[in-house]
Amino acid sequence: MLKYNLLEAMKEQTKTDVKLTDKKQKIMEAAISLFAEKGYGNTPTSEIAKAAGVAEGTIFRHFGTKDHLLVSLIVPFLKDSIPLMAEELFEKLLSNHELRFEDFLRNLLRDRLLFLKQNKEIFQIIVKEFFYNEEIRHELIPYFAENIGSRLVQVIRTFQERGELSDQPAETMARHIFFSIGGTFIFKFVFGLNGSQDEEAEIESVVRFVMDGVRKIKEDSP
């Protein structure tokens, strides 16, 4: 089943991991459990240290900051989980074979808005690290491109074959769609620029904008 709360999913995953005695592993397990229980913003490093049975200075020595601790947890989890998450997401969205492409976009936006609402703190930190940390970009971009970008390209080609979309290169359209949707989410959840529109109006605005660029234009009959 598709997991919407990343911290809860990470917490479940740690239950099946082999327990190690290493201090770093104890810190990471304690942090996941506390972040999932109390929220990232409500969990001080002192409490993580107490739960892990280490000095607070040990956390700073291993991870530097609480943000870096979260990134150290979330990046390996995403790399392990992105393929399955992408497969489940696209399978869910395309389960209706009579779906039009604009409905696919609508459903994609609704689904990812729900996902980001439940992971707002994590998303904000990942975006910040993504902009300022070249290592994070090098780690995550190939995974997103391979597991999400490639699936979106396949979806576009399917709808091109049905005659709904223009004959532009599918990779180009996928890139424009990704940046349109990603930009919307960053402005909404990172910068807090929601505008005056309600959520459904926001979704419709993005769908119209994207469809104007990718829709196949019907030629007038002679």
As a whole number, the mean pLDDT across the chain is: 84
pLDDT of residue 152: 93
56: number of CA atoms within 13 Å, CB side? 7
pLDDT in tens, 98-113: 899 999 999 999 998 9
Domains of the chain: 6-70 (1.10.10.60), 82-212 (1.10.357)
pLDDT band at 199 (very low <50, low <70, confident <90, very high): confident
Taking residues 182-198, what's their average pLDDT? 78
One-letter amino acid for residue 82 of the chain: I
Query: Residue 133, class by beta-carbon neighbours within 10 Å (0-12 exposed, 13-18 middle, 19+ buried)?
Result: middle
pLDDT in tens, 168-186: 999 999 999 998 998 888 8
Q: Two tokens at 187?
A: 């402005």
pLDDT band at 50 (very low <50, low <70, confident <90, very high): very high
CA 190 to chain centre: 13
Q: Two tokens at 130?
A: 């993504």
pLDDT in tens, 128-168: 888 888 878 888 888 888 888 899 999 999 999 999 999 99
pLDDT band at 86 (very low <50, low <70, confident <90, very high): confident
